[in-house]
């Protein structure tokens, strides 16, 4: 279930940005909830705006703080920091999933921890911050959310290329090569993919996405995280 008003207050305090309760509620409303509640407004327009704010803030930060990096390396780092996987990690770190308003179907299929939903909601919250608090406050929010990824070089590398990072970690720890099994569901125009990654014949993590690659990357990052914590 979505967070209570008390826990929502904890989220507001953490974000440290002045966003009206109604706009924050909108930012936390997934389209599945809107569909099941008479077509109320949902967060996709805010997500569209937040994506732009996020990209600009990260681009400017990387440009200013890395004068020795060329365009190609800057582009790689930006792509990793604004990826769905990275944003989902940010969302999990701040407990965003428990605040999202989801439809029953998404609730029953683990929507609160789906990387795509988490990442989209982060962008919507950034968009809401821009609307109510302005560009400077929204940029500051982006940097507060993203900087923890930069302080952990291993995490940064894993978010950039989780499949390679998992393969290297598995090799170092003698677990063999990762193997992926992917299934899909839904109509051709709106397929969802589910990946399971195994090591030594044992399933270690799962991931979802809108493409086979995204699902495998999500599973790989979860597996890398679990292995890193256990070693």
Catalytic residues: 51, 123
CA dist 117 and 103 (Å) reads 12
Please provide the DSSP assignment of 150-198 as one string: HT-HHHHHHHH-HHHHHHHHHHHTT----EEEEEEES-GGG-EEEEEEE
CA dist 109 and 111 (Å) reads 6
Of 41, 189, 8, 32, give the one whose Cα is nearest residue 111. 32
Instruction: Kindly list the distances between the CA atom of residue 134 and the CA atoms of 40, 89, 141, in Å, as whole numbers in the listed order.
Output: 25, 25, 11
Ligand-binding annotation for 120, yes or no, is yes
Cβ neighbours of residue 192 closer than 8 Å, sequence gap 6 or more: 184, 185, 186, 208, 209, 210
Residue that is written with structure tokens 């099941």 in the block: 36
- Structural contact between residues 205 and 219, judged by C-beta atoms closer than 8 angstroms: yes
Ligand-binding annotation for 181, yes or no, is no
Beta bridge partners of 151: none
> Going by DSSP bridges, is the β-strand pair 179-185/192-199 parallel, antiparallel, or unpaired?
antiparallel
DSSP three-state, residue 101: strand
Which strands, in side-by-side order, build the sheet including 192-199? 179-185, 192-199, 202-209
Specify binding-site residues. 47, 120, 123
User: Residues annotated in the binding site for Mg(2+), as ranges?
Assistant: 47, 120, 123
């Amino acid at each position: 279930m979505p967070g209570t008003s008390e826990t929502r207050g904890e989220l507001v305090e953490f974000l440290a940005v002045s966003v009206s309760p109604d706009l924050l509620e909108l930012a936390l409303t997934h389209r599945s909830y809107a569909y099941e509640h008479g077509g109320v407004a949902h967060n996709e327009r805010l997500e569209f705006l937040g994506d732009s704010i996020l990209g600009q803030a990260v681009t400017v930060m990387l440009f200013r703080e890395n004068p020795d990096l060329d365009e190609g390396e800057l582009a790689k780092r930006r792509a990793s920091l604004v990826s769905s996987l990275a944003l989902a990690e940010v969302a999990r770190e701040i407990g965003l999933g428990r605040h999202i308003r989801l439809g029953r179907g998404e609730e029953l299929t683990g929507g609160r921890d789906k990387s795509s939903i988490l990442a989209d909601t982060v962008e919507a919250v950034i968009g809401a911050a821009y609307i109510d608090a302005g560009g400077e406050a929204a940029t500051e929010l982006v940097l507060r959310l993203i900087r923890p990824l930069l302080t952990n070089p291993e995490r940064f590398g894993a978010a950039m290329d989780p499949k390679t990072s998992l393969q290297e970690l598995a090799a170092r720890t003698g677990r063999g090569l990762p193997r992926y099994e992917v299934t899909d569901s839904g109509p051709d125009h709106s397929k969802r993919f589910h990946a399971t990654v195994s090591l030594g014949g044992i399933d270690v993590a799962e991931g979802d996405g809108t493409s086979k690659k995204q699902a495998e990357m999500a599973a790989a990052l979860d597996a890398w995280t679990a292995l890193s914590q256990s070693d």
